[in-house]
Structure 1
Amino acid sequence: MSATHPGTDPTNGADDELGYLSATEALRLFTSRALSPVELMRAIVERTEKTEPHVNAFTERLFDEALAQARHAEDRYLGKNGLEPRPLEGIPVAAKEKHAILGRSLTEGSLAHEGNVATENHPVVDRILDAGGIIHARTTTPEFSIATYTQSRMWGVTRNPWNPDFTPGGSSGGSGASLAAGTSLLASASDIGGSTRIPAAFTGTVGFKAPYGRNPGLGVLTADHYRGDGPMGRTVDDVIAFQNVLAGPDPRDHTSIGPKLTLPTAYEDVAGLRVALCLRLGEYDVHPEVEANTRAAAQALADAGVHVEEITLPWTHLDLLTAIAGHFSTIFGAIVEETAEHHRDLLSSYTVAFADLMKYARTQASYLDALRAEHRLQRQLATAMTGFDALVCPTTAIPGWHAEDDLAGDKVVVHGEETVDTLWCAMTNPFNVNNRCPVLNVPSGMSGWGVPTGLQIVGHPYDDPTVFRLGKALEAVRPWSYDAVRSRFS
């Protein structure tokens, strides 16, 4: 058997090797009968036993059910009962806990919701199951998915497999940590302010923030145009395969777009494309290592024939803060406030602080103020991207922060030294404001802190194929290896 990434050779059948197969390679091996879904699932279970005491990526393990489903998947590949394999047949998929599964817990990491049980599947879950994917575990988040780290009173601290002293990011931190730890081949995520891209950056994985409405959601937050549910994986091809399962309209989400967009799996050469490189997105203070890795990725695209031109954006922190404050305090923040009013003593300290901050923010910036700021930011991005096929920029301003840090201070402190202002440590929220833009995070390099850094590839509104075309090209010229993190738990 061959492997997707250099240094990953599953020929010996070792559990640690099988856990790092790409999903597309696993599907090929299933089809050729060189690997059984049961064999892969058993390897994932054994890998989990090694890693979870150190990483804490899972809230719930569904291994008995998963092994039974793997046996059914094996039957499909063997042609039994006249059933054919489906697009994700037999692939172990870790689901973010907020993606509801009928009859199972739905707490969003909050003691205030302990005992809550889902009354229906989330559309993401339905699409995974309908495609033959096997949800073998559910992943951790911060409480209510409101933070850029992953810790809660309910589930404890989730750590980055690359360097357990650091966070895998949030809010889809458990999903990113599981992929990096080799305990899932795909993982579901969501993104309202960077919750897919931040964990993807810190864990060296690939995450996609789909344009608003591309993938269906569930509940009142489907009306929040900052949010969206999407895929994470270890390769661009894997995320393409997963995204093609998730996309398309669903009657439970009035904002979901039809007809379904199916992404190509093969793309033309990128030579001749024009890409804007923007390092600071206006006023962000970017760590030197993040800047160096971003420039190296941009240079790799240039070496592949892409015309890369560095630009600046006129975005200000004031406009971004106005947009974020007015928007979040009106919708997402108001939902958290409702819980804080009745269960304040059960909430994590950062959740209480968020609820209080949103209450104050509503007195400082109205929703109309936010919309006016959004319009300025959107128009400025559209103007800056005119004449370019896409834009590339860092995903975060710094390489990471410590796992137990709740970013309560004014500055992020790493190894005892202050870095950037906590509010501006991630560079993702501008593209939730510019919510119709597809954004793909791919690895840009490693930092001296022992954790990966990420690059955002930003497309024009609803031009999803271009970001994947560039992502595949970058992955080809700068292949990414998980050898260092795989050996950590072997």
Structure 2
Amino acid sequence: MPKTCFLSTTEILAGYRNKTLTPSKVMASYKAQYEAINDKVNAFSFTFFDDAIESAKLADLAYNNDEYQALTGIAVAIKDETYIEGQITTNGSLLLSDFVATSTDPVARRLIDNQAIIHGRTCTPEFSVASTTWTKLWGVSRNPWNTDITCGGSSGGSAIAVATGMCSFANGTDIGGSIRIPAAFCGLYGFKPAHGRVPEIIPYNIDPYCHHGLLTRTVDDLIYGYNLIKGADWEDSHSFVPDSQAVTKPLSELKVAVSKNLGFYQVEQDVLDALDNTVNQLKQAGVQVEYVDLDWDERVIETAKIHQRQNMGLLLRRSWAKPENKTLMNSYTNWYLDKVEELTPNDILDANLYLCKMWEEISPIFKQYDLLLCPTLATTNIPADYDYSKDKVEINGKQVDPNKGWFMTYPFNTLGQCPVLAMPNGFCDNGVPSSVQLVGRPYQDEAIFTLAKYLSETIASEFYTTRFPNL
């Protein structure tokens, strides 16, 4: 039986209702875990344990009186990018070290309205423009399974907090993989909903690459939390997307396509071995699984880079690209903003045209198959302090793009209408979890969750039940 801090949200809520657990006891377990291990992994930028303990005492009374909401007494960590009115939101930058939010983002508001307890804010790379998590402001955040390795980013602190039992679950945002990359490195479930399914603040809501979601230790927790944060919100005109009416198929009727490299990635052998093991597990369950070829090339990388610079990059450059800020910002941030300056209208047109080609190539697969499976990461051998502005990555003896050549998430931000779940499917040679992406047809979640539930009970069953980070 896992210790209290590693219990799932659904287990905790059941314990609250049947009076075998109390919010005060659970909050105390998170605080004890934080005090024991956070110095080793650096998950949090801020914690609010004194206030959280008082809120937990009120939640005790709520359960005693049978007057509780969907998340009463559940401790949720919030990425230090997400606004909560009255809280400092640094976005990992010295330039924002004292910035106090004057509004609350829709996802945070929905969690709070359901009486979640926000007990801390989690580390993120500066302005979320890196896929590793370290900053001048907060230092280096580390993988709890192997502290030499990155926890991923940009929702890296959120992933650490969940993976180490310092919260029940956490939020994240994803414009190129910022939920799924840290979920993969830390052995979690990380879901990028289809664009518009979960409301986002302006102007990020109008960017189809941009998504808000959750990181959890179990698929049931993910589904539970997702149902609380999704749906229309008047703050976001793009959120009025009708819910899926697709019929849920049983596992044995699913047809699953598998791509080892999405057409062009170099992928480490231990990652491929875990993927093959996943495929064999599905075949044993009677799932129709076939390997497919996808005619994409490295223009996928440039398409994602250009789009991110075109939207988020130009916004950041307008606000922060000033000579007096350069020494305060991180090396990767300065590199990123310099690249934004090089952007041309022709670049943007070419990226949009290649986006169309990407859909032309993958749509026949989605016509024939319910899901596409592929790795989340091409390698897990990325140091905790990795800096894409100067460091290199080699996979299978070949140098790959140092910015985006080592993770396989952003093609499905380009195709932002496709929901994607990253989940653990074993371990790599360095002790870091391996991860697979379950990519759904546009706006269809059902097949993803059907397959994920089965895999969670088979290839991923040891995560947070019998196997935990050893810190």
Same fold? TM cut 0.5: yes
Equivalent residue for 1:172?
Answer: 155
Cα 1:384–1:231, aligned 2, differ >3 Å: closer, same or farther? Answer: same
- The C-alpha deviation readout for 1:39-71, integer Å capped at 9, x for no partner, is 000010001001111010001001111111111
Cα 1:486–1:326, aligned 2, differ >3 Å: closer, same or farther? Answer: closer
CA distance in 2, matches of 1:448, 1:213: 38
Equivalent residue for 1:437?
Answer: 418
Q: Aligned partner of 2:365: which letter?
A: A
Equivalent residue for 2:15?
Answer: 29
CA distance in 2, matches of 1:161, 1:27: 26
Equivalent residue for 2:94?
Answer: 111
In the alignment, structure 1 residue 215 sits paired with structure 2 residue 195: no
- The C-alpha deviation readout for 1:272-315, integer Å capped at 9, x for no partner, is 21000111101001100000101111211111111000001001
Residue 116 of structure 1: how far off its partner (Å): 1.1
Residue 407 of structure 1: how far off its partner (Å): 2.5
- The C-alpha deviation readout for 1:422-478, integer Å capped at 9, x for no partner, is 231010010001110000011011011111111000000000121111111111122
Of residues 10, 32, 55, the one that matches 1:46 is 32
Counterpart mapping for 1:36-435 below 5 A: 36-79=22-65, 84-259=67-242, 269-318=250-299, 320-338=300-318, 339-341=320-322, 343-360=325-342, 362-363=343-344, 365-409=346-390, 411-412=392-393, 420-422=400-402, 423-435=404-416
CA distance in 1, matches of 2:290, 2:185: 26
Structure 1 gaps, min length 5: 1-8, 11-16
Contact 2:198 2:231 in 1 (8 A): yes
Cα 1:306–1:228, aligned 2, differ >3 Å: closer, same or farther? Answer: same
CA RMSD of aligned residues (A): 2.0
CA distance in 1, matches of 2:423, 2:301: 26
TM-score w.r.t. length of structure 1: 0.91
CA distance in 1, matches of 2:136, 2:469: 30
Q: Aligned partner of 2:114: which letter?
A: A
Instruction: Count residues with an aligned counterpart.
Output: 466
Residue 367 of structure 1: how far off its partner (Å): 2.2
Which secondary structure does the structure 2 equivalent of 1:402 belong to? coil
CA distance in 1, matches of 2:310, 2:356: 17
CA distance in 2, matches of 1:263, 1:354: 40
Structure 2 gaps, min length 5: none
Q: Aligned partner of 2:61: which letter?
A: D
Which secondary structure does the structure 1 equivalent of 2:436 belong to? strand
Equivalent residue for 2:437?
Answer: 456
Which secondary structure does the structure 1 equivalent of 2:321 belong to? helix
- The C-alpha deviation readout for 1:195-251, integer Å capped at 9, x for no partner, is 000000000000000000010111311111100100110000000011011101111
CA distance in 1, matches of 2:336, 2:134: 15
Percent identity of paired positions between Structure 1 and Structure 2:
37
- The C-alpha deviation readout for 1:71-97, integer Å capped at 9, x for no partner, is 122212111xxx622112211111111
TM-score w.r.t. length of structure 2: 0.95
Residue 125 of structure 1: how far off its partner (Å): 1.0
Give the stretch that moved more between structures: 432-441 or 421-430.
Answer: 421-430
